[in-house]
Structures are given as C-alpha cells and as structure tokens.
Amino acid sequence: MKYNNPVIKGFYPDPSVCKVEDTYYLVCSSFQYFPGVPLFESKDLINWKQIGHCLTRESQVQLGSVGSSGGVFAPTIRHHGGRFYMTTTNDTTRQNFYVWTDDIYGEWSDPIFVDQGGIDPDLYFEDGRAFFMSNGVDDEGVGGVVQCELDMETGRKLSPSRSIWKGTGGRYLESPHMYRMNGHYYLMAAEGGTEYGHMVVYARGDEISGPFEAYPNNPVLTNRNLGRYELQGVGHGDLIQDHEGNWWMLHLGFRQIGQYLTYHHLGREVFLTPVTFGEDGWFTAGHQGTTLSSFETDRIPSDIIQQVQKNFTFENTDWKLDWCYLRHPELSHYVLEENKATLKGTDISLDLPKNPTFIGIRQRDFDVEISCEVQLNHGEAGITLYMDENHHYDLALRNEGTTYQVIERLNIGDIKSVEHKVDLAASNQVTLIIRADRKQYSFYTHINGKGILLGTAQTRYLSSEVAGGFTGVVIGLYAHGEGAIAEFTEFRCVYA
C-alpha cells in the first residue's frame, strides 16, 4: 500500500513511540501550550488518534510566564513492568523529570525530578535496572550523551552521570535513544539543529555504557541535500518494531511552502519512515537515507486505509484533546459547550508571554478556510493565527465606543499594525473568515450577506525562519479587554 507523510499533521514535534501488545503510543512536545505533551495511539502506524495529554495539572509542570518555545521540550514514552513512563524537560526551569501511569487513558502522576541536566531525556530498562540519558554535560564537565542509573521510585541517581558518546561531530547533539537489538546496544541521536541541516545518526556497542562505534554511513536519515524538496528538517527520531517484526522510525520534519521558498509555518510534524537491517547488523532508513512525501510498502496491509480529517468544528472536536491554551489558563474565563464557546477577556493581550484568554487548534495543512460567528459586548474578540507573542495575524470584532469594527491586524516583530477596518455601526455580531494557501492568508468578513476582503498577509512572516522558535501556527479564538464577553459559534476549519 501507499501511505503519505506526515502521518500526524501540524505542530506536533519531537515524536517518541512505544508499543504495548497490538497498540502503538506516541507523545510530542508542547512547549508553552497546556495541557502538555499530546498523547496518541494507533493500530497501524499511519492512523493516529489523540487520546489525551500527559501533563494536565498545574502541579505537573511550571509554565507561568514562559516565553514562546520555552516550557516542555522533547518527551520520551516507554512501557515497563505494566507501567507507562513519560520523561521530558521543562527547559525554562532547566529540570528533567518523568511522570507515570498504569492507565494510559487516565491521569499521570505528579513529576519525579532527576538530578541530571541537559535536554531530550530518554529512559531504558533492562534486567530490573533503569537508565536515564540526556544530552548535556556529565559530572566531570564532559559534554555529549550523558547516562546514569536511576531509582525509578524516587528519581535518585544510583550512579554518577557519565558522557558515553559525543556524536559524529555535527552541531547540537540531541534526542538520544537507546535500544537493545541483534546482540548490540544501539544509540540513536540527532545532530545539525532542528532546521534544514537536521539529521539522524547512530552508533552501536557491546555494553550499555559504551564504547560506541558510529555507523560508517552516518547520517542514516536526512533531507538536508534535497534542495527544492517540500520535506525538510528531518531528524529527532525514535525506532519501533511492528507486529510483523519490521522496523520503522517516527521522526520530525517540516514542509516548506514552496520549492524555492524556504519557509515553514505549520511547525514540525510527525513522519513515518521504514528502517531495514542489513546482514552486518547496521540499519538504513528511508529512500537512500531520505524521507519521502509518500512510500509504497508491503509492510502495511493493503486493506488499511489512511484516514485524513478535513473538517474540524466545535461539534466534531474535543475541547480537552484537540484544543489547547497558552500557559496555565484561568478556566473560569471559558464556557466550552458542544456548539459554542464563550470567552471572558482580561487586560492580558496576545502580545504578552502570559495567559491571555485564548483557546486554539493547530493548523494542519496549507490550504484551509477558517470561519466563525462572533458576538461581543465590548473590548475585542476574534480569530488569531498565532505563532508567538510577536508574530500573529488577528481578524477581530472590536468595540469603539458606541460602534463596532472588524479589523485586520498584523503583528510581525516590533511592527503591530491595524491594516484595515470595516465599520459595523451598532451591530455587535459578525462572521469572520480566513482563507489560506501556501503563500498567503486572506481576511474576510460578511456584512449584510456580502463578502468583504479586508486584506492579505504572507505566511512567511509567521514562519520559524522569521519568528524563530520551535512551534507552529495555532488557530486561536481569543477575547481581550476587562469585562469583554465574546460568544463564538459556527466554527469551521475546512481543509482542501
């Protein structure tokens, strides 16, 4: 059968995966968004359903006033002894920790902190022992992939932290994962930075603590030399073996907006790439070491159909799964019903690294039409295309004394400009519409049954190449202003 990449679309970076019986489970980074660490399940590796989050309580993660792309970095999910573990980093507080659950559909524990620095932590279990790895600096000040043995009940180190591999020489060694296969320990990591030079590398050894011999043909997977190809930034992977014994890599990558337009704004997404072991025990990945937009494979039964959701509404999404807040929300400001959202504004705007009244859903593809009915008493409310506090486009209904206006506002770095506005006289209800393709967003409103184009804005100014950071565009509903009450109905997000 033929499957298409990405297998999870939109801002879901840094995937990690484990398998329990006939089901695969996957987690991703969430940074400043809450709840933290989205959790998915699948039976076939190509169709993924979100079933929860690992961090659902303020006691589990400190977000506070973290800036965009701060907070929760790359997680790892593992299953051992009937228990699931998720370990991650709060990069803002510089703390590695893990949580656990015996019920994958239930709540996770409060955090257990580990006294080892670095980021991108990994857990490996063997013979009743637990090993913790991260990329950082060991107890002697030596950098690289750092390893210690842990007491999983307390998080206490049972051995000193020791650097066991320094990688192949690429910049930003990260994302270490340990596996035991074919009589060897395999240590896989990423290098090159999570940008256009990203790559997956690995080494193997006879002991869990090394020494490790690098794969002679590293990097094993990268798209860094595929100029003009849509899929770029391939790296940060995790290996998994399927029901039939085949190996795969779930990894991140991103889609640039055009052959010669090296910008991406949807964020880093989840890709699936086949892995093949040779007789010498080394493995290769993908098509000649690259990831493709689609793979033809006999590893997945031909009767399995890859499902793609095209239409997102209030009615067919779950407020607790598909939607997210900025940092820790004041939940009393949200009344979320089956077909309506009522938001109470405050004086905290989208431009501040705090907790504005905002609830969002990730943009999952380039071509989309977003629409919503908004009713407002005063203040401002509408739809935002949100990359970070300094890069977002807003289409909103705004109260101006006794009148109302629809505004199109562009926020690009230090430039914050209301580009266009349309007066509504005394009407306090309006339809807002945003149409998007790869290169631009177009902003409309409907007044008296007539569509009015307010203006356009280029997608590139919401890209990681312009804004920086590690997130992607989130389609947000927001309210701003003390005492502002906004009612959102008829939400539609329809992809081509």
Question: Active-site positions?
Answer: 14, 174
CA 89, chain centre distance (Å)? 14
Whether the CA torsion 471, 475, 481, 487 is positive or negative: it is: negative
- Distance from C-alpha of 174 to C-alpha of 187, rounded to nearest angstrom: 11
Which regions of 243-322 does DSSP assign to beta strands (E)?
247-255, 269-277, 283-285, 294-296, 311-313
Q: Are 19 and 370 spatial neighbours (Cβ–Cβ below 8 Å)?
A: no
Q: Do the beta carbons of residue 88 and residue 74 sit within 8 Å?
A: yes
- 31-62 in b/e burial notation, b at 16+ Cβ within 10 A? bbbbbbbbbbbbebbbbbebebbbbbeeebbb
Q: What is 380-418 written as a DSSP string?
A: EEEEEEEEETTEEEEEEEEEETTEEEEEEEEEETTEEEE
Contact 336, 359 (CB under 8 A): yes
> What is the C-alpha to C-alpha distance for residues 444 and 253, in angstroms, rounded to an integer?
32
CA distance 213 to 333: 55
Instruction: Return the exposure string of 397-429: e unless at least 16 CB atoms fall within 10 Å of the residue's CB, then b.
Output: bbbeeeebbbbbbbbbeeeeeeebeeebeeebe
